Homo-oligomer: A and B are copies of this chain.
Amino acid sequence: MKAGVIGATGYAGAELVRLLSGHSRVDDLVLSSVSFEGGKIEEVYPHFIGRVSAPLVKGEAVVSEADVVFSALPHGVGEQFAKTCVEKGKPFIDLSADFRFGEDEAAFRKWYGKDYVYPELRKYSVYGLPELNREKIKGARGQGSVIIGNPGCYPTGASLGCFPALAKGIAAGAIIVDAASGISGGGREPSRQFHYPECADSISPYKIGSHRHTPEIARNFAAMAALEGRGSPPVIFTPHLAPMNRGILSTIYIPLTAEYASVVNVEVKTSGLRALYADFYKNEPFVRVLPPGVIAATNRVRNSNYCDISVHTDHSGSTLIVISAIDNMVKGAAGQAIQNMNLIFGFEEKTALEAIPALF
């Protein structure tokens, strides 16, 4: 089987190449890059020397040769490739935002400032958060849906952190997601904001009240709450830039319903909520609900596809505080994309994603 990556020299694209190289069901890679067409990926990332030296071709060639196509292009420029894949019946897993909003073009337009190029493609697309949509993703090809809108990095961490609370009706009122990302999240293109002396040894929020991942988080929360017929809570989302290479930590404040808020013993309440989370995720291969005393941290999921979750309450017991940690480039991008591929093709879901987190 041949896997293709369009936009293979951006960070998410290269991470796909790295992970796909170790995939037992992938025999060959077809890679494209606009910036480095004609070169080799090992020239852009010497990490690959001796391991991956596939030539960088055009996106069209990837679509034509590969059996599954991953697209790691910027938003708004890859729909043509998606269209061709649909026509050929090849799965197209898109890491941009183009297919994350499905039929809700208005939301996409509002936050991304663009129209859909081929709106009709959305009837073939599924939002690729396996914990929420596993069956749809698995059945995608059978139902003619071959496009996956791979989730954004922040929405992955935030949504997994809130899913049990929303599905089980624990949340009452606005949820605050205060998150910090490593700087690889800003991509490979140099800029002042990500220039080492400007961001090292410092922390700061950015795009307060206006980050594009806000509507995706809100939409996921609504979908999760709707599973048992509940309405959707408002979301406040503040991203921060932290001086680290990888990782997203989400600190999530979920006001508890009166039923929970009124439990006087905070320890008992917290244990109960932790047990509820653990039970909710007990069959998930990549979500780890941490035991008491262990707090989620980005360096314990580094280079892995895990989402670690720890469950706490504030000292008054009014608010559930959930911490979720993911590697923004793995579960937050390339790893989750491969998880989607595994589901689509009926492979063991963990294939190529079994790395234990780097210890430091």
Binding site for B on A (CB under 8 A): 11, 14-15, 18, 21-22, 45-52, 174, 176, 178, 180, 182-184, 188, 190-192, 194-206, 208-210, 214, 234, 236, 238, 240, 242-247, 249, 251, 253, 266, 288, 290-291, 294-300, 302-303, 308, 312-316, 318-319, 321, 323, 325, 329, 354-360
Is A296 touching B244 in the complex (CB atoms < 8 A)?
A: no
Interface residues of chain A: helix, strand, loop or mixed (majority): loop
| CB-contact partner of A201 in B174, B244, B291, under 8 A | B244
- Assess the A247–B203 pair: CB atoms within 8 A: yes
Q: How far is the CA of A102 from the CA of B199 in the complex (A)?
A: 38
Q: In the complex, which of the residues B21, B196, B208, B329 contacts A195, with contact meaning CB atoms closer than 8 Å?
A: B196
A-B contact pairs, 30 of them (CB 8 A): A15-B359, A18-B356, A22-B355, A22-B356, A45-B359, A49-B290, A49-B308, A52-B356, A174-B319, A176-B253, A178-B253, A180-B240, A190-B190, A194-B197, A200-B201, A200-B244, A201-B244, A201-B246, A202-B244, A202-B297, A202-B298, A203-B297, A204-B249, A204-B325, A205-B249, A206-B295, A234-B316, A236-B253, A236-B314, A303-B303
Q: Which residues of B contact A355 (CB under 8 A)?
A: 22, 355
10 residue pairs, one from A and one from B, having the closest CB atoms:
A202-B299, A204-B297, A190-B190, A197-B360, A183-B196, A47-B357, A208-B312, A236-B314, A178-B178, A201-B244
